[in-house]
Amino acid sequence: MDDSILIVDDSPYIVDGLMALLKRKGFKPIASHGGDEAISILRTVKPDLILLDIMMEPMDGWETLEKIKANPETHNLPVLMFSAKKISPEEAQEHSLNIEDFVSKPVNPAQLLDSIKRIFERRSNVKIEAGIAKDAGLDVSVIGEYSALRKSIDVDKNLLAVLKNSCGLNIPGRVVPEDVLQAITQLDEKIKGDKLRLKEINGTFAKGF
């Protein structure tokens, strides 16, 4: 395994721990101790994945993510967000299209490694399937939509679980704010709609193959 992963966190303790973990699992980790340093590193290094903390100073993870996605040279790099901060419904809606997954701190090594594996496998499978569809003569825009939907559904399902857990939706007697309930409902409906559309596209792929 030679996949490189850029770790971005302003805590040296966390960076050192993740460096050791990922090295043991065969990855090539790259240390970055903040958003500014990460942006500087990305001028010359293009990792296979970016592991990005949200709560950093002076530039937090969301601002760092925006800079990464605004640059054509780094726009397509996959980003896995992680944080001890509870993600808000607004953040979930605003950033879900630009991230591959979200993992809560304290980081569970098994959960983190599973998420990394899932991201790499999904990107590999989508690339292979898109190549087959392109060779079969299917419309490029449909292929692009298919790839986006595959990622979007996985990310949204995880964010939905995070939102439900953070607001205590499954705790008896817990009063959940109306805006949070609305955001959860909207995200759930989006997932259902995306799944229906993906099913339609899968039918098109089957015909093309």
The most distant pair of C-alpha atoms in the chain lies apart, rounded to whole Å, by 55
DSSP class of residue 56? Answer: -
Sketch the domain layout of the chain as residue ranges: 1-77, 108-209
Q: What pLDDT shows up at residue 50?
A: 98
Distance CA 35, CA 105 (A): 18
For 90-116, how does the pLDDT look when each residue is reduced to its tens digit (9 = 90+)? 777 777 778 998 888 888 899 999 999
Task: Please state, in angstroms and as integers, the Cα–Cα distance from residue 46 to each residue in 3, 13, 33, 141, following that order.
Answer: 11, 24, 17, 26
Rounded to a whole number of angstroms, the distance between the first and last alpha carbons of the chain is 31
Q: Which CATH number fits domain 1-77: 3.90.930.12, 3.40.50.720, 3.40.50.1240, 3.40.50.2300?
A: 3.40.50.2300
Distance CA 113, CA 163 (A): 21
Q: Whose CA is closest to 34, among 67, 13, 5, 9?
A: 9
Instruction: Tell me the two tokens of residue 10.
Output: 């302003």
Q: What pLDDT shows up at residue 205?
A: 65
Q: What is the pLDDT along the chain (209 residues), one digit of tens a residue?
A: 589 999 999 999 999 999 999 999 999 999 999 999 999 999 999 999 999 999 999 999 999 999 999 999 999 999 999 888 777 777 777 777 789 988 888 888 999 999 999 999 988 888 888 887 788 777 888 888 988 898 889 888 888 888 888 777 778 878 878 888 888 888 899 999 999 998 988 777 665 44
Q: What pLDDT shows up at residue 20?
A: 97
Distance CA 146, CA 149 (A): 5
Q: What pLDDT shows up at residue 209?
A: 47
- Prediction pTM value: 0.83
Label the pairing between strands 79-83 and 101-104: parallel
